[in-house]
Each structure stands twice: as structure tokens, then as C-alpha cells.
Amino acid sequence: MIVACDRCGRQNRVPVERLAQEGRCGACHAPLGPRAKPIDVDAADFDAIVGAVKVPILVDFWAAWCAPCRMAAPEVEKTAAAMAGKSVVLKVNTELQPALASRFHVQGIPHFVVLRDGAVVTQQSGLVPSARMTEWLEAASRRS
């Protein structure tokens, strides 16, 4: 994944397995914190991240035309910021990635899936607050 440095703007390649870890900018050596924002993914990025990341992953299946999805977006962003370093948050546009949505039997959106070690821990459709998403991720963290 490519991450821009907040200090100098340089684009840094971050291995997917380190998305939840601290790093340093290759140019100015400023800290690059763990991903604190949702990551828009396609099927290839999704599979690479799910296969490599060792922390729980929250996946938000959404579409641009969906009003509840637009209402959920700030809650998803809040969850990503609150759980930075402890989880990774992915966004899957169901219009662009229908096969990925089908893989998880998404029938309605927004639809949330929590994964741990590639396995589904929790799934739920509908609008939920950030606090609930955080609870899901914390519960997934406690699973061994």
C-alpha cells in the first residue's frame, strides 16, 4: 500500500502486513502511524490484506447511491481512527466489487463483516454506531 507522509508528503510503500504498525518516512524519517482511515480496496487488495494482517479487520460493504451507507461513513471513519494500531478498516464498493460482496453473501448495505485470521467473526447489515463496531473489533482481538 502507498501511504503519504503527513510531514513531507512523500509517498511511502507500506507492506500490507504492517498497516496496523508504526513506520518511518523514507525521506524525512517522520513517524508514519498505523492506518487510522478506512482503506478502499478491490478484490486483490482485499485478499492480500486479509491474508497478511494479524489484527482484526472491519469490512464495510457500501455503495455511493445508498443513503444509509453515506450515514455510516463517518461512523466507520471514527472506528478506524479509534482502533488504529489495533485493527484495520476496509471499504468495499459493492457496485465495483460485486463478486467480493457475493463471497460474503451481502444482501443489503451497509453490511459489516469482522474478520480475524481470515475467518468471519461477526456480520451485520444496517446502520450501526462506531461504538458497536469498536465492540466487535475488541471482541475479535480477544479471540485466540
Is 69 designated active site?
Answer: yes
Please give the Cα distance from 134 to 33 (Å, whole number).
19
* Phi, psi (rounded to 5 degrees) for 6: -70, -25
The Cα–Cα gap between 7 and 20 comes to 19
What separation, in Å, do the N-terminal and C-terminal C-alpha atoms of the chain show?
A: 27
Does residue 109 contact residue 62 with C-beta atoms inside 8 Å? yes
Instruction: Based on the residue annotation, tell me whether 25 is a catalytic residue of this protein.
Output: no
Return the active site residues. Answer: 66, 69
